[in-house]
């Protein structure tokens, strides 16, 4: 198992602190609300396929924001469980 560098520890610690704040939960609630409205907006409000594509992209971006705590935790776990290879070996 690989240890995190001090910079990585600080990075993940600060993000985890952010994710635990009430403000972060308020943001998630707003993003979920917007995401839930997108299908109806796209269905009834799209003037063409380009508008549907924009709604899909927006939905994906909102999904990433909503799931950012889990994504970050997975990145941290991947770093911790990675082989101690030189990253430039690629």
Q: Which helix H or strand E contains 90, and what residues bound it?
A: none
Taking the C-alpha atoms of residue 7 and residue 45, their distance in angstroms, rounded to an integer, is 46
Cut 0.85: pTM above it: no
| Nearest CA among 86, 69, 78, 71 for reference residue 4 | 78
pLDDT at residue 89 greater than cutoff 80: no
40-84 tens-digit pLDDT: 999 999 999 999 999 999 999 999 999 999 999 999 999 999 876
Q: Domain locations in the chain?
A: 6-73
pLDDT above 90 covers a percentage of the chain that reads: 87
Sequence-ordered list of residues with C-beta below 8 angstroms from that of 11, at least 6 positions apart, any chain: none
Least confident piece of the model among 5-19, 35-49, 74-88: 74-88
């Amino acid at each position: 198992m690989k240890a995190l560098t001090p910079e990585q520890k600080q990075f993940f610690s600060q993000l985890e602190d952010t994710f635990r704040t009430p403000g972060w939960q308020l943001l998630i609630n707003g993003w979920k609300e917007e995401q839930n409205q997108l299908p109806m907006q796209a269905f009834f409000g799209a003037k063409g396929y380009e508008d549907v594509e924009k709604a899909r992209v927006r939905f994906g971006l909102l999904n990433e924001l909503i799931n950012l705590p889990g994504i970050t935790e997975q990145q941290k776990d991947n770093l911790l469980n990675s082989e101690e290879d030189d990253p430039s070996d690629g």
